[in-house]
Amino acid sequence: MRERGSTRSPSDLPSRSTGPSVPSRLEDRGGRFGHGEAAGYDFSVPIGATAAEVRSVVHEYGIAHMEGFLGGERLDRLAAECRSILDEPPTWSHPEGYGLGAAVRLVRTQVDRASFPTLLDVFESPFLEEVVALHYGPGYVFAEQIYVILDIVGTQTIVQQLHYDKVQHLKLFVYLSDVGPGNGPFHCVPRSHTISAQLQADNRANGIIATDGEARVLPPEVAGRQVAVLGGAGTLILFDSDIVHRASVPTDGDRLAVRSLNFGPHSLGSRL
Ligand SMILES: [Fe+2]
């Protein structure tokens, strides 16, 4: 992993804890793999990196990956809260149609703070807000929506086609289970966020939101540069939704994840 040198003590990171609480099969296999280094991209950021360092990696690659962002009891509590939301969606939540798996959308300001304290604590982290603020500047919208998502073996959805998102935003994504090649890892094309931004520049300047079909029309060479983004439970992935990306089908085991959507002052459309 590339060292960027931290100017921030790990103890300053509000979401940091002591590492995964469950044995990580990825670690047991003796190494870190699959999050871009093998393909010549290094978008890893170490625990202890500053918000500015994280933001600069997102700016350069369209994605940053921080393994071990959550661990221990904090990770366990977050996973339990997310499973509870999927098992019994609260009245103020918004269950989504999601193939064989399950997805529930939450509007952060509607979340019951007493029942889901860890979820809010993680996604209201000052560290994450600083990354969003640096990414968008004044007028950013922090953690407006949160999605809890369970992909199970065989889950198929439209987002498994390579695409970029129609309304540009910054996603903060936490794996709550170990994600190896058979657990439906997120796939993306590092540095492709600039391609999508160029493709949509005229539309966005004119207040036009692309269609699903348009957001799947990509230069032919892009598909060959995909990487699978793997990580143990507790891995944080931050990505600009302009990056060309897709979900993948779990073949060996389920994947539980939670993510927030963060917008810039010029993001288009009605989002709630
Ligand atoms: Fe997407």
Q: Report pLDDT for 269.
A: 64
Q: Report pLDDT for 40.
A: 67
Cβ contacts of 185 within 8 Å, gap of 6 or more: 34, 179, 228, 229, 230, 248, 255
| Tokens standing for residue 107 | 């509007």
Which residue positions in the chain have pLDDT lower than 50? 1-34, 36, 38
DSSP tag of 270 = -
Ligand 1: centre distance to CA 165 (Å): 5
Q: Report pLDDT for 24.
A: 36
Q: Give SS3 for 199.
A: helix
Q: Report pLDDT for 100.
A: 83
Ligand 1: centre distance to CA 52 (Å): 25
pLDDT tens figures, 45-57: 999 999 999 999 9
Q: Where are the domains of the chain?
A: 68-185+208-217+243-263
Q: Report pLDDT for 13.
A: 33
pLDDT tens figures, 204-216: 888 899 898 899 9
| Tokens standing for residue 123 | 């996604």
Q: How far is CA 10 from CA 17, 38, 56, 228, in A?
A: 9, 27, 19, 27
Q: Report pLDDT for 23.
A: 32
What is the value of pTM for the model shown?
0.84
Ligand 1: centre distance to CA 209 (Å): 14
* CATH C-level class of 68-185+208-217+243-263: mainly beta
Ligand 1: centre distance to CA 21 (Å): 29
Ligand 1: centre distance to CA 155 (Å): 16
Q: Report pLDDT for 17.
A: 35
Ligand 1: centre distance to CA 168 (Å): 10
Ligand 1: centre distance to CA 95 (Å): 18
